[in-house]
């Protein structure tokens, strides 16, 4: 049977996508060094556990969906996924291999679990997907890993509640562990922690709440899932609602996890950037 080996979290800011190709040159840059310094231990862990499939939970920023057609939950079921120019100047990178068999198994399973999802047999992936893949598999070294995009609406209200997303992650976890093939599956939750990019609170950061989230997501994720969306926006900013993507990942991992590594840094694009490596406990 398929095994969930663990989860990763990371921010996915567009400026990171522009910086990734220059990481070697930025290693001593005071702005970027504290950010990139967090990733070598995570990359070493990824190489050690050797995932066959990475399920990437992210939010589309207008490349694939827009306000006139914004599904709450969507899952890719394509043989490959390509990215395109979003207007940020991020370089386009080689396509990502899909896993249609596992995708359809997950789609069918979560629908039976009473989650209504959009199944996407064609799907573009934006920086919310490509930046995390580039961070954990540098130099486009992801060719041996199959991928499944799971996109959740964090743009057009009403957003799914944190508890709904946590339970959606649990449903994904059950689907993976009922898949009959012998594969290792990694689940990734992307997005920044506290940040607000516009309005009167533009630049808002709540470090205390961010660190609380990074602690509780290991030991008591259901406590975080009990927040409402308005409470999450108040505490972490309008775009900080992306934390529901982390909660979805955590739901998939089951009751107990072990934190292997983490990093927290505030400087990039008025966003609290954070990285976590969580290993699923037996």
Please tell me the distance from the alpha carbon of residue 130 to that of residue 58, in angstroms, as a whole number. 10
Residue 121 bridge partners (DSSP):
none
Please tell me the distance from the alpha carbon of residue 19 to that of residue 113, in angstroms, as a whole number. 40
Half-sphere exposure at residue 151, Cβ-oriented, CA atoms within 13 angstroms: 28
End-to-end CA distance of the chain: 15
Beta-strand pair 272-280/3-10: antiparallel
Which sequence positions are flagged as catalytic?
127, 195
Pair 250, 169: CB distance under 8 Å: yes
Please tell me the distance from the alpha carbon of residue 268 to that of residue 273, in angstroms, as a whole number. 7
């Amino acid at each position: 049977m398929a095994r969930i080996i663990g989860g990763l979290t990371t921010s996915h800011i567009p400026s990171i996508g522009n910086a990734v190709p220059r990481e070697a040159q930025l290693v001593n840059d005071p702005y970027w060094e504290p950010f990139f310094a967090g990733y070598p231990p995570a990359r070493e862990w990824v190489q050690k556990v050797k995932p066959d499939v990475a399920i990437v939970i992210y939010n589309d920023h207008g490349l694939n969906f827009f306000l006139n057609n914004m599904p709450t939950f969507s899952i890719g079921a394509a043989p490959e996924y390509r990215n395109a120019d979003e207007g940020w100047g991020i370089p386009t990178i080689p396509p990502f291999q899909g896993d249609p068999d596992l995708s359809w198994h997950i789609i069918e399973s979560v629908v039976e679990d009473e989650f209504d999802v959009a199944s996407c047999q064609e799907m573009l992936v934006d920086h919310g997907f490509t930046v995390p893949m580039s961070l954990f598999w540098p130099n486009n070294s992801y060719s041996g890993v199959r991928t499944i995009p799971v996109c959740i609406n964090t743009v057009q209200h009403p957003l799914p509640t944190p508890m709904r997303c946590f339970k959606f992650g649990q449903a994904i976890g059950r689907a993976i562990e009922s898949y009959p093939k012998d594969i290792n599956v990694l689940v990734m939750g992307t997005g920044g922690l506290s940040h607000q990019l516009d309005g009167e609170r533009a630049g808002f950061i709540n470090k205390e709440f961010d660190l609380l989230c990074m602690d509780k997501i290991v030991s008591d994720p259901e406590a975080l899932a009990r927040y409402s969306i308005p409470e999450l926006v108040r505490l972490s900013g309008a775009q900080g609602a992306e934390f529901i993507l982390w909660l979805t990942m955590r739901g998939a991992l089951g009751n107990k996890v072990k934190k292997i590594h983490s990093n927290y840094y505030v400087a990039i694009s008025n966003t609290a950037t954070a990285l976590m490596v969580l290993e699923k406990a037996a």
